[in-house]
Amino acid sequence: MTITIFVPRDAAALALGADRVATAIAREIETRGIDARIVRNGSRGMHWLEPLVEVRTERGRIAYGPVKPSDVPSLFEAGFLQGADHPLCRGRTKEIPFLARQTRLTFARCGVTDPLSLEDYRHYQGMKGLEKAVTMQPTDIIQQVTDSGLRGRGGAGFPTGIKWKTVLEAPGAQKYIVCNADEGDSGTFADRMIMEGDPFVLIEGMAIAGLATGATKGFIYTRSEYPHAIETMIAAVEIARKAGILGPSVLGSGKAFDMEVRVGAGAYVCGEETALLNSLEGKRGIVRAKPPLPALQGFLGRPTVVNNVISLASVPVIMDRGAEFYRDFGMGRSRGTIPIQIAGNTRHGGLFETAFGLTLGEIVDDIGGGTASGRPVRAVQVGGPLGAYFPRALFDTPFDYESFAAKDGLIGHAGITVFDDTVDMLKQARFAMEFCAVESCGKCTPCRIGSTRGVETADKIAQGIEPQKNRELLADLCNTMKFGSLCALGGFTPYPVLSAMTHFPEDFSPAPIAEAAE
Ligand SMILES: Cc1cc2nc3c(=O)[nH]c(=O)nc-3n(C[C@H](O)[C@H](O)[C@H](O)COP(=O)(O)O)c2cc1C
Ligand code: SF4
């Protein structure tokens, strides 16, 4: 029987040499005359083990990693094709604690299947949600999504069902589904992983959104820095079209839905939904004033759903297993699961999908395993570059929208960046202001000018120039940006700055210049 070997094609695995490992394995197979095939799967999301090679055996899939090309001959010698022991052997993949502790609903197939095999997709429960949706009325689909409690995973946490209902009820002959795959937040990679590892789940989710709202055309807007995701998505859309999943009659239902992939140049602000729509229309990526909401006047002025990749990719499992099944996971008003992305100075970086409600400390210490440097964790930034810094004292905060908001933070796209005790929080605050200055679309003054003044003020504090006065000035500036900015780029930049000042005041009190000179 042909042996199946899995070598990921995910960008993170490729960056760590997965292609060279696949070539080395192919060479060994040929020289040894073995009946084996290599499947290029997505990533399981355990970055410290990449490239993670798996072999399908009678005992299930056995994992080896991180594999270097030079390890390959010894793997064959040891009998890894039969799942034999080797220093790199991690045992049965699904028993690796990092994976075993997860609840994989949205990422159920990621790393398991061949991303471009529809046969694989269907074999692992794929397309069941869309099969149900084509038989349902739009209002019933929307009710199910609403009842599931699904909230936007792009950052704002807006209820997905309500957004869809607005688009369904908006007058207009042509409506659109726009998938926000810009994924600009630092330390996040969930959108990329799903597009590279399970593209059909996004296509299925978008098609369901189309049926639910009456939209017949969809766009996936992503960035040029994601070449592998772009390639995979374009290929998957083509396959889906040929199979009758997309096109004039979705799964033979007589209802039309088609989509295409559009690539932006990669500006952080183009992830903001209205700037994204401008960019999609070929205009400069600048934020539009709201109202009108994109749901009423979005792409080309027509009713448009703008949803994050993970929001849309979570819909198929909701339609397949039912709203109750999904909403049973989670806590409070944060229902279902969330793919947490652990990055920065962490021992076990990667993607961990779990029900809302784990504490930040459990995620950072138990799952992430502390820092890669081995030094104590000092701060964790949650929610990308606009997210607050959390000190250890707040590690008992449960990971859900409301608990984080109550601590002046946000979960955003669920990226967590870990820092050890060598971090300088004044520098981090300055960096937040600098990031905002660089990425600002320039439309409003508090953000465009305020961020630059913020950098200058942080520099003055660092130089010991009137520190008390400049600390007050920085806090005041943050207040102006928070309440005076048109969008969340200027409006949320104060979060990392103020949290750094509040929780790490000692870093904002360098020796005054006069004392330092003596
Ligand atoms: C500066 C800025 C950048 C953003 N970047 C992204 C992004 O990369 N991806 C994303 O899905 N949402 C991003 N958002 C949020 C979107 O504006 C919007 O809320 C989201 O796409 C809606 O989808 P959801 O309801 O499924 O989360 C960003 C918002 C701001 C203000
Ligand atoms: S806050 Fe910044 S990014 Fe947002 S509209 Fe104003 S200038 Fe543009």
* Tens digits of residue pLDDT in 293-339: 999 999 999 999 999 999 999 999 999 999 999 999 999 999 999 99
Task: Report pLDDT for 497.
Answer: 98
Distance in Å, CA 439 to ligand 2 centroid? 9
For residue 495, give the nearest of 354, 399, 344, 381 by alpha carbon: 381
Has residue 514 got a pLDDT over 60? no
Q: For residue 196, how far is its CA from the centre of ligand 1 (angstroms)? A: 20
Please name the residues in contact with 384: beta carbons below 8 A apart, sequence gap of 6 or more: 155, 184, 185, 186, 187, 188, 412, 413, 415
Helix, strand, coil % over all residues of the chain, rounded to 5: 45, 15, 35
Amino acid identity, position 407: K
Say which residues have a Cβ less than 8 Å from residue 130's Cβ, sequence separation at least 6: 204, 207, 208, 211, 245, 250, 251, 316, 319
Strand partners, 331: 334
Interval between CA 153 and ligand 1 midpoint (Å): 8
Query: Quick one: which H or E segment has residue 341?
Result: strand 337-344
Distance between start and end Cα atoms, the chain: 80
| Cβ 389 vs Cβ 428: under 8 Å | yes
Could you count the other beta carbons within 10 Å of the beta carbon of residue 254?
Answer: 9
Residue 241 has pLDDT above 50, yes or no: yes
DSSP label of 218: E
Ligand 1 within 6 A of 42 CB? Answer: no
pLDDT in tens, 192-230: 999 999 999 999 999 999 999 999 999 999 999 999 999
Q: Which helix (DSSP H) or strand (DSSP E) does residue 201 occupy?
A: helix 199-213
pLDDT at 266 over 90: no
Tokens of 255: 């209802």
Rounded CA separation 14/23 (Å): 12
Nearest CA owner, ligand 2 atom 1: 490
CA of 323 relative to ligand 2 center, distance in Å? 37
* Percent of the chain scoring above 90 in pLDDT: 97
Taking the mean position of all CA atoms in its chain, how far away is CA 323? 23
Exposure string for 1-11, b = 16+ CB within 10 A, e = fewer? eeebbbbbbbb
Torsion over CA: 497, 499, 502, 508 (sign): negative
Q: DSSP readout, 260-274?
A: EEEEE---GGGGSHH
Q: CA torsion, points 248, 254, 196, 234, in degrees to nearest 10?
A: -10
Q: Which of 145, 160, 178, 180 to mutate to test the pocket of ligand 1 (most atoms within 8 A of CB)?
A: 180
What is the Cα–Cα distance from 432 to 268, expressed in whole angstroms? Answer: 13
Report the 10 Å Cβ neighbour count for 227: 12
154 lines ligand 1 (CB under 6 A): yes
pLDDT > 70? residue 515: no
Measured CA to CA, the distance from residue 322 to residue 381 in angstroms comes to 34
Enumerate the H helices of 214-268 as residue ranges.
227-242
The type of residue at 36 is A
Does the pLDDT at position 285 exceed 80? Answer: yes
Per-residue pLDDT at 460 exceeds 60: yes
Spatial distance between the Cα atoms of 166 and 168, rounded to a whole number of angstroms: 6
Position 316 scores a pLDDT of 98
Residue 153 in contact with ligand 1 by CB distance below 6 A? yes
Tokens coding 281: 């229309």
Q: Characterize the bridge pairing of strands 53-57 and 3-6.
A: antiparallel
Q: To test the ligand 1 pocket, which listed residue (163, 308, 310) has its Cβ within 8 A of the most ligand atoms?
A: 308
CB 500 within 8 A of CB 429: yes
Q: Are strands 377-382 and 350-355 parallel, antiparallel or unpaired?
A: unpaired
User: What does the pLDDT average to over 491-514?
Assistant: 89
Q: Which of 286, 451, 487 to mutate to test the pocket of ligand 2 (most atoms within 8 A of CB)?
A: 487
d(CA 401, CA 397): 11
Distance 383 CA to ligand 1 centre (A): 12
Q: Which amino acid residue places its CA nearest to atom 19 of ligand 1?
A: 156
Q: How confident is the model at residue 517 (pLDDT cuts 50, 70, 90)?
A: very low
DSSP reduced 3-state for 176? strand
What are the backbone angles phi and psi of residue 3, rounded to the nearest 5°?
-85, 140
Report the candidate in 424, 217, 244 with the shortest Cα–Cα distance to residue 303.
217
**150: how many CB neighbours lie within 10 A of its CB?**
24
Average pLDDT of the residues of the chain: 96
pLDDT of residue 207: 98
Per residue in 17-63, pLDDT tens?
999 999 999 999 999 999 999 999 999 999 999 999 999 999 999 99
Longest CA–CA separation in the chain, Å:
82
Task: Answer yes or no: is the C-beta of 182 below 6 A from any ligand 1 atom.
Answer: yes
Mean pLDDT of 160-177: 98
Q: What tokens appear for 162 in the block?
A: 């309500």
Ligand 2 pocket list (CB less than 6 A): 269, 287, 440-444, 447-448, 485-487, 489-490
pLDDT of residue 512: 57
CA distance 147 to 159: 10
pLDDT in tens, 334-361: 999 999 999 999 999 999 999 999 999 9
Q: How far is Cα 99 from Cα 94, in angstroms, rounded to an integer?
A: 6
List pLDDT tens digits, range 75-116: 999 999 999 999 999 999 999 999 999 999 999 999 999 999
**Distance between CA atoms of residues 142 and 344, nearest Å:** 38
